[in-house]
């Protein structure tokens, strides 16, 4: 092998160790895009049927204690919620994607002048669909011990 | 260039596109380890001084509305909390790391027989220290619309 081939091969070997984690990172990026598209369609555009049919697996495993498990109960929950609260909004603060999990941190408001709630959703993605969901929600308090806000 | 060199160089070029994201993924992995070490020391082992001195930047930006900003108020908060609640526990459910952000989802209990709270902390890491923190916390309810639990 000539020097140029040796150099190229050695460079390759030094890069190969990174490829496994690069593949994992590519997966994280793809899952982040999928979840952001789903969140925009469901939470911001309120297109419940389109979002559920496009992005959520029928066997969707629900960990939010207010909603029965499965994608159909979720469809019913959001259709009912948006019918009653058409002005509800979501402002996304952070998105953290790692392998099959994507965490989304946002302020949820029922009405524009609410202080709203701080929420983190964690979605698990597999086979091009959102398969599972956990969340935590907390009302934004009137007063805070610091001036940094919750977002 | 001989065929072997050409092949090796072409393979390299196909891999180089992955290297930027691999570097980002390495950073995520390192930050995940740092945050897990900090969380274990602070939340599980209750070693407040050691955790604050080792892992938290003095200018730590606090978004939890109960605690003033900075690492010293956080030190005081946890020392007071653990003095009053030495049996409090944390069981980690998910860790999601992406670039400089690490989200940790866990059940927090003040006493062993509590249902506890579901919490997500999001930490921002830079320069080998935790620089900023957001969180959301929700009591685990007695009843749920599904049997999947909150974790």
Cα–Cα distance measured from residue B36 to residue A99, given in angstroms and rounded to the nearest whole number: 17
Q: What does the pLDDT look like over A112-146, one tens digit per residue?
A: 899 999 999 999 999 999 999 999 999 999 999 99
* Alpha-helical runs (H) found in B85-145: none
Give residue-wise pLDDT tens across range B5-58: 544 444 444 444 445 567 778 999 999 999 999 999 999 999 999 999 999 999
Q: How many other C-beta atoms lie within 10 A of the C-beta of residue A71?
A: 21
More confidently predicted of A6 and B99: B99
- Do A150 and B134 make contact, defined as CB atoms within 8 angstroms? yes
| Cα dihedral sign, A62-A68-A72-A76 | negative
Separation in Å, CA of A134 to nearest CA in chain B: 6
CA–CA distance, B68 with A145 (Å, rounded to integer): 5
Note the pLDDT of residue B6: 46
Distance from the B24 Cα atom to the nearest Cα atom in chain A, whole angstroms: 8
Q: How far is B46 from chain A (nearest CA, A)?
A: 23
Rounded CA separation A115/A108 (Å): 9
How many CB atoms are closer than 10 A to CB B120?
28
Q: Do B144 and A65 touch (CB under 8 A)?
A: yes
Polymer length in residues for chain B? 151
Residues from chain A contacting residue B119 (CB–CB below 8 Å): 136
Neighboring chain B residues of A92 at a CB cutoff of 8 Å:
none
Please state the rounded mean pLDDT for residues A69-94.
98
> What is the C-alpha separation between A88 and A39, in angstroms, rounded?
14
Phi-psi region of A58 (alpha: psi -120 to 50; beta: other; left: phi over 0): alpha
What is the bridge-based pairing of β-strands B129-139 and A56-62? Answer: unpaired
pLDDT surpasses 50 at A15 = no
| Predicted local distance difference test score (pLDDT) of residue B7 | 45
Nearest to A97 among B2, B98, B141 (CB): B98
Residue B118: which of A74, A61, A122 has the closest Cα? Answer: A122
**Which run of H or E residues covers position B99?**
none
Q: Do A94 and B134 touch (CB under 8 A)?
A: yes
From residue B151, alpha-carbon distances to A62, A85, A134 in Å are 10, 28, 7
Q: So what's the pLDDT on residue B20?
A: 58
Q: Tell me: the pLDDT tens digits for B92-151?
A: 999 999 999 999 999 999 998 999 999 999 999 999 999 999 999 999 999 999 999 999
| Complex ipTM | 0.87
Over residues A14-28, the mean pLDDT reads 65
Distance CA A75, CA A27 (A): 27
At B118 the pLDDT is 98
pLDDT at position B25 is: 81
Mutate to test the interface with B, among A23, A63, A92, A142 (most CBs of B within 10 A): A63
Rounded Cα distance, B72 and B150, in Å? 32
CB A140 within 8 A of CB A118: yes
Residue B115: CB partners within 8 Å, gap ≥ 6? Answer: B109, B139, B140, B141, B142
Residue of B nearest to A12 (CA): B12
Encoded tokens for B16: 């180089």
What one-character-per-residue DSSP string does B100-145 give? TEEEEEEEEESSTTS--EEEEEEEEEETTEEEEEEEEEEEPPS--S
Contact A97 B94 (CB under 8 A): no
Cβ contacts of B101 on chain A, cutoff 8 Å: 94, 96
Q: Do B145 and A96 touch (CB under 8 A)?
A: no
Q: What angle do CA A113, A143, A141 make, to 5 degrees?
A: 55
A147, containing H or E segment: none
pLDDT, tens only, A25-75: 899 999 999 999 999 999 999 999 999 999 999 999 999 999 999 999 999
């Amino acid at each position: 092998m000539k020097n140029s081939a040796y150099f190229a091969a050695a460079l390759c070997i030094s890069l190969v160790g990174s490829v496994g984690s690069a593949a994992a990172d590519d997966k994280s990026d793809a899952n982040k895009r999928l979840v952001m598209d789903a969140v925009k369609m469901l939470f911001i555009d309120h297109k419940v049927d389109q979002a559920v049919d496009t992005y959520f697996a029928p066997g969707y495993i629900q960990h939010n204690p207010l909603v029965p498990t499965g994608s159909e109960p979720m469809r019913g929950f959001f259709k009912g919620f948006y019918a009653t609260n058409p002005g509800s909004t979501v402002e996304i603060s952070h998105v953290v994607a790692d392998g099959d999990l994507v965490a989304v941190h946002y302020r949820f408001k029922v009405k524009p002048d609410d202080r709203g709630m701080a929420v983190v959703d964690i979605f698990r993605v597999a086979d091009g669909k959102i398969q599972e969901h956990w969340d935590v929600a907390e009302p934004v308090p009137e007063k805070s011990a610091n001036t940094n806000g919750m977002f």
